[in-house]
Amino acid sequence: MDFHTERGLDREEGPSQTPEEEPRRVSGGSSTTEFTYTDPVQSFVDTVRDLVTRPADFFSGIARRGDFVNPLIFALICVVVTAVIGGFLGILGAIVGIGDRGVGAAIGGLVGSVLLTPIFYAIGLFIGAGILHLLVALIIKPAATGYEATFRALSYSAVGQLVGWIPFLGPLIAAVAGVVLSIIGVREVHNTTTGKAALVVLIPAAIVILIALIIAFLIGAALFFTLQQ
């Protein structure tokens, strides 16, 4: 994976360009071939390939505004693919007797996952992009890019979800890939340094982890005192 760090850590931030000084780039006019629902198969393959092999170039070339739909669909395809593969693996496991779920429950889990995952992921994507862009406004203060640029970067970073179905290591790999790609994406679409982009992405992640640890501690403490009585 090409991080192109010389474009981030070693890049000096010059005077910000105004929207009038920077050419408006929209889907169809960007220098990167992005996913489009009018050519779903080939554009999906091309987008995945570019995100894996040259992420910095991909994010630097995408449109900053003009299209929420295609990046959102790309992200939802990634999570649905993982949900479908994971669901079928669950059904196969139930058939061969792995785990304690029956085949009927595994099929129900597959259907529920396929129906609910894209809904919750889309909601989380819009909210997550809003949180990230708030930090972008506070830390980076871009003059020529807005919320949509952050949303697009976060949406394409969902490509890591394609390996989330792999047992045991899949979710961890997907999470790490998502964080790394989000940092690269925020850096490129907002023309900032790797350090500032990392702060934008890692601060919410750290808060989520801290909250999860606090909840786990409180649950553990409650169980401990309950068993002591």
Q: How confident is the model at residue 14 (pLDDT cuts 50, 70, 90)?
A: very low
Between helix 69-96 and helix 147-156 the angle, nearest 10°, is: 30
Three-state SS sequence of the chain: CCCCHHHCCCCCCCCCCCCCCCCCCCCCCCCCCCCCCCCHHHHHHHHHHHHHHCHHHHHHHCCCCCCCHHHHHHHHHHHHHHHHHHHHHHHHHHHHCCCCCCHHHHHHHHHHHHHHHHHHHHHHHHHHHHHHHHHHHHHHCCCCCCHHHHHHHHHHHHHHHHHCCCCCCHHHHHHHHHHHHHHHHHHHHCCCCHHHHHHHHHHHHHHHHHHHHHHHHHHHHHHHHHHHC
Dump pLDDT digits (tens) for 39-97. 999 999 999 999 999 999 999 999 888 889 999 999 999 999 999 999 888 888 888 87
Percentage with pLDDT > 70 across the chain = 84
pTM of the full structure: 0.78
Does the structure show a pLDDT above 80 at 216?
yes
Dump pLDDT digits (tens) for 151-203. 999 999 999 999 999 988 999 999 999 999 999 999 999 999 999 999 999 99
For residue 16, the model assigns a pLDDT of: 41
**Residue whose C-alpha is closest to residue 182's, from 17, 45, 56, 28:** 56
Q: Positive or negative CA dihedral for 138, 141, 142, 146?
A: positive
Rounded CA separation 147/129 (Å): 7
Residue with more model confidence, 199 or 106: 199
